Structure 1
Amino acid sequence: MRSDEIRGLWLGFAGVAIFALTLPMTRLAVGTPEAPQMSGMFIALGRAVVAAALSAVFLIATRAPLPGRAEWLPLAVTSAGVVFGFPLFTSIAMRHVEAVHASVIVGVLPLATAAVGALLHRQRPSAGFWLCALAGSALVVAFALVKASATGATLHVADLLLLAAMGCAAIGYAFGAHLSQRMRAEHVICWALVIALPATAPLAFHAMPRAAVPPSAWWGFAYVAVFSMWIGFFAWYRGLALGGTVRVSQVQLVQPFLSMLFAVPLLGERLDATTVGFGLAVIATVFLGKRMPVRPLAPPKKLETP
């Protein structure tokens, strides 16, 4: 393995360790249906505003050049995925499901990221890869249904929001990693946040909490704003660019377990055998999927001139 790939894997792991606290800290900030704190809308958009302010300072301090014409559209897609989609869907969902539960849903993210990255980089995953992707997704849906039936409920809309969040994150990660090969990785997330500011700032102000919330909720908000929304991407995008999206995305295998472990002391949640079992099964499908070949697409044949 090349030194760049090793560095990429370690940077990817650092980013994943930071992201692993996102779900528990979001739960801390939004509260529960019985004891609500901040709204999911404010958590999602307010954290983007804080991170955008930090990004503007960083871009000025590092004299970042303006993105080129060809970079604006990928930046907009990255922003839609990781600045709007993922934070908004997870923040709304986390009031209704425990962080341990949500961590299993997150288990499908490595394969989703690898799949989007393979398509973006014109690679051809094997049939085995797609089989593993489908199996992992099926396990996640089955887990949500099993947990719902255990409580006598139907599939919660929060589970669907979490699945949508995984799709947004996979797209945002893959496009951000692609941009990180042409721009500084730190500048990718900073520009993605800054270009979203005209939308996030007024919406976040409108959604600000009007009543007092406990300090613990503000600590949760501060973490997702500074670390989950900003610092974590510095390591993550650089890791994806150095080691390759398909390879480094698999480091996310450890994220569900780290999230579960963080949720126990932070939120007082507990791990049950069903959750651990499904979590291991999802990780197994991702592990198998990463071993399946992913080949570059053959270039189109040139038309022969008579």
Structure 2
Amino acid sequence: MTAQDSATAPTSITVGAPVRRAGAPSPRGTLFAALGVLSFSLTFPSTAWALESFGPWSMVSLRLLVAALLAGVFLWRGRVPFPDRAHWAGFAVVIGGVMIGFPVLTTLALGTATTSHAAVVVGLLPLTTAVFAAVRTRRRPSRAFWAAALAGAAVVVAFTVQQSGGALTRADLYLFGALLLCAAGYTEGGRLSGLMPGWHVVGWALVLCVPLALVGALLGLSLEPWHLTVHGVAGLLWVASASTFLGLYLWYRGMAAIGVARASQLQLAQPLATLVWSVLLLGEHLSPAAPVAAAGVLVCIAVTQRARS
């Protein structure tokens, strides 16, 4: 991303641009959000890989530091000014929910739960984000949208619970806490991305995490056992560069273009994609019901993308 890109980016993601009616689907915005979801779908498997080399606190802190280094380079090259004071509260919500809360809680959960079980968080995240967005932005999606969103959430939850055998574990408290924090952070980040380029939001949120992440990394590496493996390093690099930096940039840019509620429903496909990656990368077993669930989810996504606000 160059300085020239940063100068032109706000125009392409501004909410309510006069050339498009409010709530209208944007193919480009949908593509950005979908690519963000694809990046996110590898987060749980790559986190499981990273935990082979690092403890949970070390991994989360190093993840933030690597992502913040990338973000800092882009901000410096783009000569991006520090956010205005009026946006500080919004950035605090993004940092607390997306940059710190969700990674910490899901990493702790993955210490005892499988990625298949953890996927239930993402299964409920689209609906929770849509609710947060409706309250925060006071834009009310149609009844058809809510019906499809509820149906999609029900399909995903039923499938992921069946996949994990229906067992509840202590990790569920971490997962549901991560769900609420992430939904709030997504909503506020989507709102900020309508006021500035999405990569500015992601970049500054990451950079502002550096002091806390640095302390966490030093303490974690000194108190937790760690040993470098190919899987561990690859997993850490993915969650830092792709999930935390690039994925969030694509996600926020997509949300700014098509709306937080509509973009959130694309994440209905994320648990199923995560389960596929879990089979391919971690050797977990996929239920025969997966194709049926995938078809149901795709129908629900299509309805939410066509529904008016």
Task: Provide closer, same or farther for how the CA distance between residues 104 and 97 of structure 1 changes in structure 2, counting only shifts above 3 A.
Answer: same
* Aligned-partner SS, 1:15: helix
2:139 to 123, 131, 150: 123
Residues 119 and 274 in structure 2, CA contact (< 8 A), matched pair in contact too: yes
After TM superposition, the structure 1 = structure 2 runs for residues 221-236 of structure 1, keeping only pairs within 5 Å, are: 221-236=236-251
Q: Quick check: 1:206 aligned with 2:219?
A: yes
Alpha-carbon shift at residue 248 of structure 1 (Å): 1.8
Q: TM-score, normalised by structure 2?
A: 0.80
Letter in 1 for 2:194: Q
* Aligned-partner SS, 2:140: strand
CA RMSD of aligned residues (A): 2.9
Aligned counterpart, 1:27: 48
Alpha-carbon shift at residue 203 of structure 1 (Å): 1.0
* Aligned-partner SS, 2:194: coil
Instruction: Mark the runs of 5 or more structure 1 residues left unpaired by the alignment.
Output: 32-36, 295-306
Alpha-carbon shift at residue 221 of structure 1 (Å): 0.8
Alpha-carbon shift at residue 291 of structure 1 (Å): 7.0
CA distance in 2, matches of 1:145, 1:52: 35
* Aligned-partner SS, 2:195: coil
Q: Quick check: 1:196 aligned with 2:212?
A: no
After TM superposition, the structure 1 = structure 2 runs for residues 155-304 of structure 1, keeping only pairs within 5 Å, are: 155-208=168-221, 209-273=224-288, 294=309
Instruction: Mark the runs of 5 or more structure 2 residues left unpaired by the alignment.
Output: 1-18
Alpha-carbon shift at residue 233 of structure 1 (Å): 1.3
Aligned counterpart, 1:13: 34
Residues 110 and 286 in structure 1, CA contact (< 8 A), matched pair in contact too: no
Task: State the aligned residue count.
Answer: 286
Aligned counterpart, 1:301: none
Task: Provide closer, same or farther for how the CA distance between residues 148 and 270 of structure 1 changes in structure 2, counting only shifts above 3 A.
Answer: closer
* Aligned-partner SS, 1:204: helix
Larger Cα Rg: Structure 1 or Structure 2? 1
CA distance in 2, matches of 1:102, 1:4: 30
Aligned counterpart, 1:110: 126
CA distance in 2, matches of 1:4, 1:124: 16
- CA deviations over 1:59-95 (Å, ceiling 9, x no partner): 1110001111111110111111111111011111112
Task: Provide closer, same or farther for how the CA distance between residues 85 and 280 of structure 1 changes in structure 2, counting only shifts above 3 A.
Answer: farther
Residues 180 and 238 in structure 1, CA contact (< 8 A), matched pair in contact too: yes
Alpha-carbon shift at residue 148 of structure 1 (Å): 7.1
Task: Provide closer, same or farther for how the CA distance between residues 70 and 118 of structure 1 changes in structure 2, counting only shifts above 3 A.
Answer: same
Aligned counterpart, 1:300: none
* Aligned-partner SS, 1:38: coil
Residues 117 and 161 in structure 2, CA contact (< 8 A), matched pair in contact too: no
CA distance in 1, matches of 2:133, 2:94: 13
With 272-281 and 61-70 compared, the bigger mean Cα shift is at: 272-281
CA distance in 2, matches of 1:120, 1:248: 15
Residues 107 and 279 in structure 1, CA contact (< 8 A), matched pair in contact too: no
Alpha-carbon shift at residue 101 of structure 1 (Å): 2.6
CA distance in 2, matches of 1:130, 1:236: 21
Residues 127 and 153 in structure 2, CA contact (< 8 A), matched pair in contact too: no
Aligned counterpart, 1:304: none
Letter in 2 for 1:236: W
Q: Quick check: 1:46 aligned with 2:62?
A: yes
Residues 104 and 278 in structure 1, CA contact (< 8 A), matched pair in contact too: no
* Aligned-partner SS, 1:155: coil
Aligned counterpart, 2:88: 72
Residues 47 and 239 in structure 2, CA contact (< 8 A), matched pair in contact too: yes
Residues 156 and 271 in structure 2, CA contact (< 8 A), matched pair in contact too: no
Task: Provide closer, same or farther for how the CA distance between residues 100 and 144 of structure 1 changes in structure 2, counting only shifts above 3 A.
Answer: closer
Residues 32 and 251 in structure 2, CA contact (< 8 A), matched pair in contact too: yes
Alpha-carbon shift at residue 293 of structure 1 (Å): 6.2
CA distance in 2, matches of 1:164, 1:11: 27
Residues 66 and 240 in structure 2, CA contact (< 8 A), matched pair in contact too: yes
- CA deviations over 1:139-186 (Å, ceiling 9, x no partner): 777777767776xxx620212212221222211111111101111110
CA distance in 2, matches of 1:164, 1:238: 25
With 181-190 and 246-255 compared, the bigger mean Cα shift is at: 246-255
Task: Provide closer, same or farther for how the CA distance between residues 280 and 46 of structure 1 changes in structure 2, counting only shifts above 3 A.
Answer: farther
- CA deviations over 1:13-49 (Å, ceiling 9, x no partner): 1111111100110111114xxxxx4222222222011
Aligned counterpart, 1:302: none
* Aligned-partner SS, 1:123: coil
CA distance in 2, matches of 1:143, 1:251: 17
